[in-house]
Amino acid sequence: MIFLRNENWRSYLRYYPVTCLILLANVVMHLIVFWNGGSQDNRVLLRFGALLNMPPYSEELWRNVTSMFLHSGFDHLFFNCFAILIFAPPLERWLGPSRYLLLYLLSGIVGNVLSTAYYNSISQPTLSVGASGAIYGIYGAFLYISLLQRQIIDEASRKTLYVLLIMGVILSFTRTEVSWMGHLGGLLGGFFIYGLIIRLLKLPRQNKS
């Protein structure tokens, strides 16, 4: 079962440096926002890089990245960080830190771009924050592995992934504060970006540990 974490903290830091940096960035940014007015204040979130599909903010493309490291409330931060903590490590080991970071960021960007396009199409002003698009990009990569590289993932992990995706779809369409297009965009982004990475970039040799 690849999603069971049994490393101690030193091993976790050693094997998954990018995952640790992402988690640290999420927590640090949450504390900074908290100290400057609160993570549920849209004005504060916007000041620190939230994504908003209204000019002039919609023209600031860097917000597609910065918004991934902001969260609205502690529960939002906690559940996203928990997902990263548990499910990201196997992908970082398989791809290597730089390729994993590339997939994480690009998946999040794809999710944000498609989400913005959707809300623009229905003329709905929307402020977006959170790592969910990038997290669904991780799920998308595992979906690719589960469907097209079945030999490198065990059956229990494959079933766990499918349950996660089913629950994620239900959650995305039943909670109005969740961007279902951001989740779907991240999932599709992760699926296709992973496929491109394994074809275009040489993967690190897998060592048993």
Distance, CA of 139 to chain centre? 9
Annotated catalytic residue 30 = no
The rounded distance, in Å, linking the Cα atoms of 91 and 16 is 9
DSSP the chain: -TT-----HHHHHHH-HHHHHHHHHHHHHHHHHHHTT-TT-HHHHHHTT-EESSTTGGG-TTHHHHGGG--SSHHHHHHHHHHHHHHSHHHHHHH-HHHHHHHHHHHHHHHHHHHHHHHHHTT---EE--SHHHHHHHHHHHHHHHHH-GGGS-HHHHHHHHHHHHHHHHHHHH-TTS-HHHHHHHHHHHHHHHHHHHHHSPPPPP---
From the candidates 107, 132, 157, 179, which is the catalytic residue? Answer: 132
Annotated catalytic residue 183 = yes
Which residues are known catalytic residues? 132, 183
